[in-house]
Amino acid sequence: MRRVEVAASILTADFGNLYRVVRKLERAGIDRFHLDVMDGHFVPNITFGPDVVAAVRRLTPLPIDVHLMISEPARYTEQFLRAGSDTITFHVEVEETDEQKRDMLARIRGARRVAGLAVSPRTPVSAVEPFLDGLGIVMIMTVEPGFGGQKFLADQTPKVAEARRLLADRPQAAIHVDGGVNGETAAIVGRYGADVCVVGSALFQRGRDTAREIDLVRRLAGPQRAAVAL
Ligand code: DX5
Ligand code: ZN
């Protein structure tokens, strides 16, 4: 059984000190970076684009997961591939045709990266079913996408087990849980067996030990996983 990985979302980090932020998170033991791209249209917030992804790429050898919360992901796929993303996940709710979505997933795979779909709280997991072929990531949102530091939506966690059922014959596919995950909520995620926990604001809070928080999430989201064996 795979060890739970912790991905650091830098959405609430000090962008004026990106080098130090990346180094501190690497020393603290994170497994991967999670970069939240927002266009102010798909979600009511604007963050950064491919240039910041490329900047983080130059700073770290760790895997980079790009989480696209933008309305036209197909238009920017090449730029995020060129920026050095290891995985690219866009939202299944975007207003593009199924064919365009399949084409985008195929382009990401064609570039030998991992393609993923994210599911917002109002969307059932079954929405990803038409795209299972070649899907490497299903990302379950446990907050409404758009901001860091929001309250964890525990009622979304059963979707992890549903996604696991959908991916039953695709053991290489990974389930990511994104939003409000920290030392207090990780055990809830652990009941359902996620592969990657995205942690954001909990890593940048004054007085909280970053390495201890990462270790706590990894341990609490891990051991109960067997309990939900299919
Ligand atoms: C929210 C983002 C998340 C967020 C996680 O839309 O997709 O990745 O940054 O941060 P926390 O852990 O603070 O919810
Ligand atoms: Zn995210």
Residue among 30, 36, 217 whose CB has most ligand 1 atoms within 8 A, to mutate: 36
Nearest to 125 by CA among 93, 168, 176, 162: 162
Task: Answer yes or no: 178 catalytic.
Answer: yes
**What residues are in contact with ligand 1 under a 6 Å CB criterion?**
9, 11-12, 34, 36, 67, 143, 145-146, 148-150, 178-181, 198-202
Pairing verdict, β 196-199 and 5-9: parallel
Q: Which of 14, 86, 103, 178 is catalytic?
A: 178
Read off the pLDDT band of 82 (50, 70, 90). Answer: very high
pLDDT of residue 134: 85
pLDDT of residue 207: 83
pLDDT of residue 139: 98
Of all residues in the chain, the percent with pLDDT exceeding 70 is 96
Residue 109 Cα to ligand 1 midpoint, Å, equals 25
Lowest mean pLDDT among 111-115, 168-172, 219-223: 219-223
Long-range Cβ contacts of 161-165 (<8 Å, 24+ apart): 161/192, 161/193, 161/228, 162/125, 162/126, 163/119, 163/125, 163/128, 163/138, 164/192, 164/193, 164/228, 164/230, 165/230
Nearest to 107 by CA among 149, 64, 78: 78
Enumerate residues 6+ apart whose C-beta is below 8 A from 91. Answer: 42, 68, 69, 73, 117, 118, 119, 120, 145
Closest ligand 1 atom number to CA of residue 149 = 13
Instruction: Tell me the one-letter amino acid at 212.
Output: R
Q: Say which residue, 3 or 138, is predicted with more confidence.
A: 138
Tell me: the pLDDT tens digits for 15-68? Answer: 999 999 999 999 999 999 999 999 999 999 999 999 999 999 999 999 999 999
Tell me: the pLDDT tens digits for 147-201? Answer: 999 999 999 999 999 999 999 999 999 999 999 999 999 999 988 989 999 999 9
Tell me: the pLDDT tens digits for 194-216? Answer: 999 999 999 998 888 999 999 99
Give burial (CB, 10 Å; 0-12/13-18/19+) of 66: buried
pLDDT at 10 over 80: yes
What's the angle, vertex CA 94, arms to CA 52 and CA 141, rounded to 5? 70
Q: What token pair was written down for 154?
A: 């525990």
| Other C-beta atoms lying within 10 Å of the C-beta of residue 181 | 28
pLDDT at 230 over 50: no
pLDDT of residue 1: 55
Whole-angstrom Cα Rg for the chain: 16
Give burial (CB, 10 Å; 0-12/13-18/19+) of 121: middle
pLDDT of residue 206: 83
Q: What token pair was written down for 217?
A: 């999430």
Instruction: Tell me the one-letter amino acid at 125.
Output: V
pLDDT at 5 over 90: yes
Of all residues in the chain, the percent with pLDDT exceeding 90 is 90
